[in-house]
Amino acid sequence: MHDDRTLVEARLDRVLRERIRPAVHPMTAPLDVEIWSTQGEPVPVAEGLTAPTGPIAEGTPWGSPWGTSWFKVTGTVPAEWAGRTVEAVLDLGFSPRTPGFQCEGLVYRPDGTPVKGLHPRNSYVRVGSPVAGGEQVHWHIEAASNPDLTADGAPFQPTRLGERDTAGEAPQYVLGAMRLAVFDETVWNLVMDLEVLGELMAELPVDGARRWEILRAVGRALDAVDLQDVNGTARAARDELAGVLAAPAVPAAHRISAIGHAHIDSAWLWPLRETVRKVARTASNMTALLEAEPEFVFAMSQAQQFAWLKEHRPEVWARVRKAVAEGRFVPVGGMWVESDTNMPGSEAMARQFVHGKRFFLEEFGIESEEAWLPDTFGFAAGLPQIIKAAGARRLLTQKISWSRTNSFPHHTFLWEGIDGSRIFTHFPPVDSYNCEMLGRQIGHAARNFKEKGVATRSLAPTGYGDGGGGTTREMVAKAARLRSLEGSAVVEWEPPAEFFAKAEAEYPNPSVWVGELYLELHRATLTSQAQTKRGNRRSESLLREAELWAATAAVRTGSPYPYEELDRIWKTVLLHQFHDILPGSSIAWVHREARETYARLAGELEGLITTAQQALAGEGSAELVFNGAPHTRAGVPAGGAAPAAGAVGAVPPVPREGGGYVLDNGLLRVEIDDRGLVVSAYDHTVGREAVAPGSAANLLQLHPDFPNQWDAWDVDAFYRNTGRDLVDVASLGVDGTAVRIERVFGESTVTQLLSVPDGVPRLDIDTEVDWHERERFLKLAFPLDVKADRYASETQFGHAFRPTHQNTSWEWAKFEACNHRFVHVDEPGWGVAIVNDATYGHDVTRTVRTADAGTTTTVRASLLRAPRYPDPETDQGVHRFRHALVPGAIGDAVREGYRANLPERRVTGAGRPVAPLVTVDQDAVVVSAVKLADDRSGDLVVRLYEAHGGRAFAAVSVAGAFAVDRAVPTDLLERPLADADPVATEESTVHLQLRPFQLVTLRFPRV
Ligand SMILES: [Zn+2]
């Protein structure tokens, strides 16, 4: 037979586009449209419903950037449409280019009840089926003229649209057609049939019979369509397709569990307040779709987004609650937000699950067993243990498919963390968290699935996120046709928990991946928006102190424990760990508000700390030193207070021969040359030099930094090819007991204070940068005379190792990575840590001297960047950083990391020492939280972990606080562990054995 395949395919394409799709709405009637625009921020719904509107015609520009307009839409269903299905098609001025990222609306009835959202590819509102004719329609639309920051055709260009004050007033949209229309369901179904078959056909092998079978059926269907009367002939065309659509899937077909989904970033190219409305629109849409489509199931993550509905949109919340109770609107993830997981500290990562799971339990009685993080930029190796300790056991993410260098070898596997905890993990092979049920996506998922032969199932999160409105009726219609269709994977709507249960059952011994799930992309999110990073780190440290001192004051003095305040502040900090806020990838508006919020929280937390410490200190004029760190410091016990023994000083600098200064406290001798660089750091106790021969530490290095795309997110490997050392010194002198160094470069200045404290082998480096560079990357380098094949970076509840070499592409790709409070490199018995108070990004490289094969390791902290998208002014201004060079073992790195983030506090009072509530007799076992139980029973909750990476035996005592005969091991939610009995105490002391990096939560009853 002659090969006319491409002819038929091209015919299908044109006839669908030009004749059949337009016939879905064969008749239309105009609606009367009026508009009122707010001056500024959104108004309450009641105000919008009664606002004084004026007429607006199709084709009229409307909507200043970030404005809100209320449309009033009225009309009458023509009498001659009686018996037909009628809907309104409301085009606010949508561009078909993207499903979201532009204007959106929420349709209300006159009584203020929401109907559904309006989005570029979801702009209908059903009037009736069938209608009687003559019905009056009357709706209000709360329309947001959010500007399109994706910049069509030229992405990642600097734009002033990301901040209200700089966005201007120019209308962003032109009102499109606002009409009533007859909906021809038969034609719409013909469109769905032809799209599903056309898309499937394109995935099938050209030499396979099934492709040709479908092609011939499509040809017959197109023959059956009278192009002058599509509506009258659509049924006949469908009949021609019924046979090929009825052919069942083959037994070995891949099985896809589809779940309705809308990935809504809690802030990103819009401010937080707009996310509240995006969630309301999408949730309205999805509850409406659930009512219309009995097979459909929708999942939504992020307890915060549910909480926004509860607080701001009670009518939508009521609909969601009903659908949740029916098991069709499924809360997933059990986290407060879909957070970053690289940067949040131990407790914060734990609290993401505590607050998320607790919200779902309290509101819905639902316990999520899966972490749901489709879009997060890499996964820290501490996470598996945290997920398990929260009472969950599974993880879903898709993001690792974005890695640019290596293809991850599994889609379903066990992920093992630093302590040995393993969780069942699935990466949807559809490679999208916005699946549209397109044939190419379904075909890709089936082909891409790496567990073929040992497993058969994958998950497909299906729907438009970020203002696209979620799953569409078209996606549901396509899924129905793919339920069993020869040549395609099998698709079925299914809650994620059911997918996971089936996936686990069919694949009991999955492969194991050990260590972090590193995303080979978006590495600059560890550095961009430095003030947001600092705000997060500072908030985490202050929360630790606030809980510790408030609990101590409550137990010791009966002071009220600030449950409400801590709960609210925690949730705010957790919200800002969302994967576009803490990573620094949001618009200027978001980061300005984040800075303001962190400043407010710091004030509140300082207030809580002061109140508690004053209650503990009592009245008087004697000075007490409070130590909030987990290690004894200058004679003050961890978590306690002692009379001040005088200020801890620092050694005075003395002039250095040849220029510069020497700082020597008898433990560490630091030489700073006339360029202000550290050319020697000699550890007297072991007789070792820390700085690599011929090198200089505390070296600022400036690189060009213009990634190929994703400016705030990415730093590309070529940034290292060029750069310069900032060695010119503007001034060098002594400032008290510190050496002061000033440098000028570009438009910027940097001032550093270097000091060595009395009695501690540590070089403190305070850096202040007035940063006015564009598209540059500033690093602080420490070449160290240590030969290390791997280095340790602190992560949640421990540290993770990475190689210092680049033997493989996997190692090469980790050229920028995340640390918490320290990076440590060592040879057996001795090493050097670089600790910090607010930086996360770093790189570690090795250098071999050709003369003697001596190998040194260079640690560089990433200080600042200056990307121009999406915030064109990213990081401009003054920044402060504290770093320290600490010779010693891993335990010294752990201790000094805490110290750098938890400065001592001096409080005047009666002068009586405050004994700690909790003591631990072993430095390797670190207390990460001391608090009163969230259930307000007054029980004391203590979380601790093994921090050195070895086995530890520790006595944990509350004897100094109260008598107790048992401690109860709990999960993160402070619930007794099912598989662990209460531990008997001797004299209120528990003896524990901890595995390397094991975290333990203990509850001490106080009755
Ligand atoms: Zn996202």
For residue 117, give the nearest of 363, 350, 318, 288 by alpha carbon: 288
Give the SS3 label for residue 726. coil
Backbone phi, then psi, for 475, in 5-degree steps? -65, -40
Contacts of 358 (CB under 8 A, 6+ apart): 934, 973
Which single residue is written with the structure tokens 């902290």? 861
Q: What would the DSSP string read from start to end of 401-454?
A: GG-SS---S-SEEEEE-TTS-EEEEE--TT--SSB---HHHHHHHHHH-TTBTT
Give me the helix-helix angle, 314-325 and 303-312, nearest 10°.
130
| E strand or H helix that includes residue 704 | strand 699-704
**Tokens read off for 318:** 């009521």
pTM of the model: 0.98
Kind plus residue range of the DSSP H or E element containing 767: strand 763-771
31-59 b/e (C-beta count within 10 Å ≥ 16 → b) = bebbbbbbeeebbebeebbebebeebeee
How many Å lie between the centroid of ligand 1 and the Cα of residue 779? 28
Distance CA 552, CA 640 (A): 9
Q: Which alpha helices (H) appear in 204-345, and where do they start and end?
A: 209-224, 230-246, 272-292, 303-312, 314-325
Q: What is the largest CA-CA distance in the chain?
A: 103
Predicted pLDDT at 153: 57
Question: Which contacts (CB < 8 Å, 24+ apart) does range 637-640 have?
Answer: 637/915, 637/916, 637/919, 638/916, 638/919, 638/920, 638/927, 639/548, 639/552, 639/916, 639/917, 639/918, 639/919, 639/927, 639/930, 640/913, 640/914, 640/915, 640/916
What distance in angstroms lies between residue 381's CA and the mean position of ligand 1's atoms? 21
Residue 97's pLDDT is 87
Question: What is the C-alpha to C-alpha distance for residues 545 and 539, in angstroms, rounded to an integer?
Answer: 10
Cα distances (Å, whole numbers) of residue 409 to 448, 450, 499 = 11, 7, 21
Asked if residues 528 and 713 have their Cβ atoms less than 8 Å apart, the reply is yes
Complete DSSP assignment for 837-870: SS--EEEEEEEE-TTT--EEEEEEEEEE----SS
Q: Which residues are catalytic?
A: 375
- pLDDT of 151 reads 64
pLDDT value of position 307: 98
Judged by DSSP in three states, 612 sits in helix
Please give the span between the terminal C-alpha atoms of the chain, in angstroms, as a whole number.
88
pLDDT tens profile 200-243: 999 999 999 999 999 999 999 999 999 999 999 999 999 999 99
Whole-angstrom CA distances from 564 to 548, 568, 931, 936 are 16, 6, 13, 11
425: number of Cβ within 10 Å: 26
Burial of 986 (0-12, 13-18, 19+ CB in 10 A): exposed
Q: How many residues does the chain have?
A: 1007
Give the type of residue at 24: V
**919-920, strands of its sheet edge to edge:** 919-920, 952-957, 989-994
Phi (first) and psi of residue 883, to 5 degrees: -130, 165
Residues 6+ apart with CB under 8 A from 732: 660, 674, 675, 676, 739, 740, 741, 742
User: Going by DSSP bridges, is the β-strand pair 422-426/394-396 parallel, antiparallel, or unpaired?
Assistant: parallel
In angstroms, how far is CA 591 from the centroid of its own chain?
Answer: 15
- Rounded to the nearest angstrom, the distance between the alpha carbon of 267 and the centre of ligand 1 is 9
CA of 465 from ligand 1 middle (Å) equals 9
Spatial separation of the C-alpha atoms in residues 288 and 880, rounded to whole Å: 50
Cβ-contact 767, 676 below 8 angstroms: no
How far is the C-alpha of 295 from the C-alpha of 308, rounded, in Å? 27
pLDDT value of position 609:
98
- Residue 343: alpha-carbon gap to chain centroid: 10
Ligand 1 mean position, distance from CA 197 (Å):
32
C-alpha of residue 140 to centroid of ligand 1, in Å: 30
Q: Which residues surround ligand 1, an ion (CB under 5 A)?
A: 265, 375
587 C-alpha vs ligand 1 centroid, how far in Å?
14
> Is 106:45 a contact under the CB 8 Å cutoff?
no
Neighbours of 111 (CB within 10 A): 7
Q: Which of 88, 118, 115, 90 is nearest to 104 (CA)?
A: 118
- Contact partners, residue 558, CB within 8 Å, separation at least 6: none
Q: Ligand 1 centre and the CA of 287: distance in Å?
A: 22
Phi, psi of 896 (to 5 degrees): -70, -25
Q: How far apart are the CA of 42 and the centre of ligand 1, in A?
A: 24
From the first residue on, what is the mean pLDDT of each consecutive set of 10 residues in the chain (1007 residues)?
Answer: 96 98 98 95 96 98 97 98 98 93 97 96 97 98 94 79 95 98 98 98 98 98 98 98 98 98 97 98 98 97 98 96 98 98 98 98 96 97 98 96 96 98 98 97 98 98 96 98 98 98 98 98 98 98 98 97 98 98 98 98 98 97 96 95 84 97 98 98 98 97 97 98 98 98 97 97 98 98 98 98 97 98 97 98 95 94 97 98 98 98 95 95 97 98 98 95 93 94 88 97 92
Tell me the two tokens of residue 837: 């108070």
Distance from the alpha carbon of residue 463 to the mean position of ligand 1, in angstroms: 14
Q: Which residues pair with 877 in a beta bridge?
A: 771
The shares of helix, strand and coil residues in the chain, as percent rounded to the nearest 5, are: 30, 30, 40
Rounded CA-CA distance 897/892 in Å is: 8
| CA 304 to ligand 1 center in whole angstroms | 15
HSE-up of residue 262 (Cα within 13 Å, Cβ side): 29
Distance from the alpha carbon of residue 581 to the mean position of ligand 1, in angstroms: 10
The pLDDT assigned to 840 comes to 98
Kindly tell me the burial class for residue 247, based on how many C-beta atoms sit within 10 Å of its own C-beta (0-12, 13-18, 19 or more).
middle
Q: Check residue 417 and give its pLDDT.
A: 98
The number of angstroms, rounded, from the C-alpha of 406 to the middle of its chain's C-alpha atoms is 22
| Beta carbons of 171 and 61 less than 8 angstroms apart | yes
At 906-957, the pLDDT tens digits run 999 998 999 999 999 999 999 999 999 999 999 999 999 999 999 999 999 9
